[in-house]
Chain A
């Protein structure tokens, strides 16, 4: 996903929120910074006094006194700096934490289309690497750079009291540094954004190849994959090299300018003195030389701040695009909770397609009575899973209406809708947590109840694990067999005990005997529930009150098992294929 470039002002506005969350700490750092800047302004002044009054007048007591003052100021300066660093760290970590939390919350609100169309690896990279890149900006160290402008003013005031002409020479630093900064800023933003995008791309290639590691191994793909990876890797190499190369020319310029100013200062100072201006003492010259160097610091700081800002903004641009919600599944303002009165489901003249130009369901109508058990069979890609996703409002339909007990699902709150509907997904999804956490998903349910449900559906394997419910299942349940994953996913829905249950090929990887056991149990569990079963095995669908034969998004036949067999149509044909022996 390419990210668009937002205006700086817009980005700053959105960022300030995170900084302002630590208002009090920010204020304290503000004070500490002012204090340490004042010391920084004073120190050269003292040094110059030491030289002119202490050394050149050979006054040892004065020398000692001033050195003590100098020393104690330096120590306080260091202490202030320590405080500043500490506060910056806390502010930075807190802001990053809050930003990441916000982004994650938003990401949870994105609709499924977002997840279908965005690469996981790139999204991870935005939430991790890009947010890390914000560290500098969000730590408030920007504040330091901005406040160092005060240093410039302080320096100017002191300089003016010593020599007006030398002051002007020294001040040349400012336009020159600005020039250096301007040179630096050019293009850097684009380069940074480009490299962030490329890092995102790298991360998505890596992610995909980790997930597909087994396929890669089976098809001996390492050479080809490496070749493909190298294309992006080389692109990233070129981008970073280009950025660093440009920086090599531009970065040292600020330093050069400042030394050139020193040279000019010396020249002008000597000329002035030559013309009889006795304002110019050795102490004053040292003062100006140190100030011209100190003047460079805030300016260099501001330059590097602009760099950091560019860097952070490039990342923030990528983060923002996650932040802005991609959600077409909206709740109406006046949405109420779904009130279940039996569990009648009506799909009325529904049109739906994942893309504009091809409809999966076309004018689809289906009425499911309260507590009815309905089975859907049909060829792969007929739209069976799609129907289940539409009822849970994972996607919105294009036309028509879906009603549950007379309430349009678009008019009820999403939470209540999904509370009442339980979908066992075709592909079981598990977290790399314990079995218990995977079943509960945050709900507090006693272990006995979990074990009871597990045993009802024949998932006795959990008991046989040494750690029982505490067994960690691995990422995506990698430490379980596919059938075991399906059983857990099934159990999870039963644990949450919704009134409407949709089983999307929920037992396809489970052996016939366990399945039979499940069916016996289901008859009881599903007694007062509306149930939609999607399945291919006819033994699975036999318990349904009504069977729907779906083909190309349309109902081809429907009726009870016996009715359909006696019709001698499509279903009969399937029956014969499966039981021909």
Chain B
């Protein structure tokens, strides 16, 4: 992963920030240099007992001017760096958000929400901190370095050499440190992500915790993760402290050496006392670039960790790719679907095995099968939430991987088995696929889904904001809203994944009779557990363990003494007949 492009995007702010930061080191060192000059004048005056007031006054005036110059330059670089920093952090956030939108379902199956949130908030901050110190302080520190060593050599070669000799030692200590420190930082971030993920789950699952009195259990799981994080962080801080004491001791040695050598030189009249004071002050200031280097190394470790952690968001292309110039259905879609030798699995475990189905345009197909038989997996392949492992799916005889992905999805009304609503108003939720839809259209689909009346009874009607994930609605209300949401797209293909499981029979019946007209010229695939709804379908498909075990119309299937018939009888009347259950389980 490379974040350099964000640096380039804001290169003007960045360059000015570094430039002014660098320039500000000149007056910064000027101040110290001038102090030495003034002290020398003072010394000469004292020694010769004759004060040249004008010269000293002029020197002090220049001193003040340098101070003001430094102030102005620091304001300038801080301003540019503030803008650079706020802008890049905004841009990176946008990229991460956009990338998350493009991620396919496989990604979300494997990641934890809380960890993604940690990555896209606090790891982003770490990237930014690194950029910030570089942009704001980098120039200044380089400048300090140059302007400390330069004058030192100018004052005296030996003094300069002593100061310079610290450099290789310091740098090698940093390199050594970095090697050890970076993995610790990464593991600290990973552990932080785990804590965050567990925290998110605990909040989400609050009601479960209440019902099962499982606070203690949950807290002990959290505690385990937190203990781990704490220990890693302490270790991390220890390493930092060791590095900083190492480097400080090196500096102390240098300082004393310069004091000694410089002192002797003053005694021998090789340099002036003012020059020595200047040198000492400069060595004291050398601590800044050194501390800066330490800081950079530490921040870079967080940056590297963030880079690694964000890589699977920003770098890996989505599993499901939109073809470059895919077919956009400029002609109208007929809605014929064909599965040809389709196999699909999660993590190498096949759940769809070599399936062949032909679904005619405008026909209605029911999909039956035990839980886990692969029904949802099969229909998830049509809007390409996942891509097949082998075989192909054709719509109107075009392979769906050659279709423009957004156009494909817009033509499909997909009502998922698990309803998800956003904490927006009911209106916005229904119009989710087409925010421009008019109110009449929204009301129309709400009426079809038998949810209009309920909405009208709410105090704020269609403007009622529903809780996160729709918590303030009952299960059936949510399902009906999600049906309305799909119908609003006016899709050619509609897929219901057991979307009426929480809806009562009466309402279900009403919805069905209204839908009947609407669905006439559309292709419909629906999964259900209620057999009463499959009677009039054009085709019934029964899946078992990822394979088709029966296929046909009700009339034919009921006559063959097969699984369908068993199923049917089970639900109609065989409530207590164990023998029949046994029979049925053999098949499914």
Contacts and interface: CB of A to CB of B under 8 A. Distances in A.
A426 interface: yes
27 contacts: A55-B263, A56-B273, A79-B245, A92-B237, A100-B226, A108-B202, A214-B105, A215-B420, A215-B422, A234-B90, A241-B83, A244-B81, A245-B82, A248-B78, A248-B79, A252-B71, A253-B71, A266-B63, A269-B42, A270-B56, A274-B53, A282-B273, A441-B208, A442-B216, A482-B417, A505-B501, A511-B371
B78 A251 contact: yes
Nearest to A424: B211
- Chain A interface SS verdict (over half): helix
B234 A107 contact: no
Interface string B478-522: 011000010001000000001001111111110000000000000
Given A241-B82, A381-B476, A213 B103 contact: yes
Contacts of B192: 128
B249 A123 contact: no
A512 B410 contact: no
Contact of A512 (B63, B207, B498, B531): B531
B502 A505 contact: yes
Contact of B420 (A214, A248, A285, A289): A214
Interface string B400-411: 000000100110
B239 to A, nearest CB: 10
A536 B230 CA distance: 50
Given A50-B259, A229-B94, A509-B529, A573 B506 contact: yes
Interface string B72-89: 001100110111011101
A85 B237 contact: yes
Interface in A255-288: 255-256, 259-260, 262-263, 266-267, 269-270, 273-274, 281-282, 285-286
A354 B472 contact: yes
Contacts of A474: 109-110
Contact of A513 (B53, B489, B584): B584
B142 interface: no
Interface string A482-511: 111011000010001000000001001111
Given A67-B260, A380-B507, A211 B420 contact: yes
A282 B46 contact: yes
A269 B38 CA distance: 11
Interface in A525-581: 536-539, 542-543, 573-574, 577-581
B204 interface: yes
B6 interface: no
A419 interface: yes
B209 interface: yes
A300 B233 CA distance: 27
A481 B374 CA distance: 8
A132 B122 contact: yes
Contacts, number: 492
Interface in B406-432: 406, 409-410, 412, 414, 416-418, 420, 422-423, 432
Contacts of A266: 35, 38, 42, 56, 60, 63
A299 B307 CA distance: 37
Interface in A81-100: 81-82, 85-86, 88-90, 92-94, 96-97, 100
A47 B263 contact: no
Nearest to A127: B199
B60 A263 contact: yes
B409 A281 contact: no
A211 B214 contact: no
B588 A513 contact: yes
Given A71-B255, A573-B506, 4 more contacts: A209-B101, A218-B383, A380-B475, A380-B476
- Chain B interface SS verdict (over half): helix
Interface stretch (A114-122, A334-342, A367-375): A114-122
Given A240-B86, A249-B75, A418 B213 contact: yes
Contacts of B74: 248, 251-252, 255
Interface string A410-422: 0000010011011
A216 B107 CA distance: 14
B121 A129 contact: yes
Contacts of B454: 381
Interface residues of B, number: 180
Given A222-B101, A266-B42, A104 B238 contact: no
Nearest to A108: B215
B255 A74 contact: yes
A379 B79 CA distance: 62
Contact of A51 (B117, B273, B503): B273
Nearest to A126: B199
B433 interface: yes
B7 interface: no
Interface string A214-253: 1111111110111001100110110011001101110111
A513 B581 contact: yes
B280 interface: yes
A427 B475 contact: yes
Interface stretch (A2-10, A27-35, A144-152, A200-208): A200-208
B158 interface: no
Contacts of A108: 202, 206, 209, 215, 218-219
Interface string B454-472: 1000010000000111011
Interface string B329-361: 000000000000000001000000000000000
B295 interface: no
Nearest to B38: A266
Contacts of B110: 474
Given A71-B256, A218-B414, A202 B93 contact: yes
B371 A482 contact: yes
Contact of A220 (B217, B406, B501): B406
Contact of A577 (B122, B222, B509): B509
Given A74-B256, A112-B206, A218-B383, A63 B264 contact: yes
Interface stretch (B159-167, B171-179, B390-398, B568-576): B568-576
B578 A263 contact: no
Interface residues of A, number: 177
A132 B329 CA distance: 51
B195 interface: yes
B532 interface: yes
A512 B529 contact: yes
A539 B580 CA distance: 15
A206 B252 contact: no
B567 interface: yes
Nearest to A260: B67
B8 interface: no
A442 B102 CA distance: 38
Contact of A55 (B101, B267, B532): B267
A63 B257 CA distance: 12
A50 B259 CA distance: 9
B12 interface: no
B581 A432 contact: no
A123 to B, nearest CB: 5
A516 interface: yes
Interface centre among A70, A93, A120, by most B CB within 10 Å?
A: A120
Interface in A127-171: 127-129, 132
B241 A112 contact: no
A219 B203 contact: no
Nearest to B116: A210
Contacts of B78: 244, 247-248, 251-252
Contacts of A421: 211
B426 to A, nearest CB: 14
Contacts of B45: 270, 273
B98 interface: yes
Contacts of A510: 371, 529
A226 B94 contact: yes
A60 B216 CA distance: 71
B201 interface: yes
Contact of A475 (B98, B112, B474, B572): B112
B85 A267 contact: no
B225 to A, nearest CB: 11
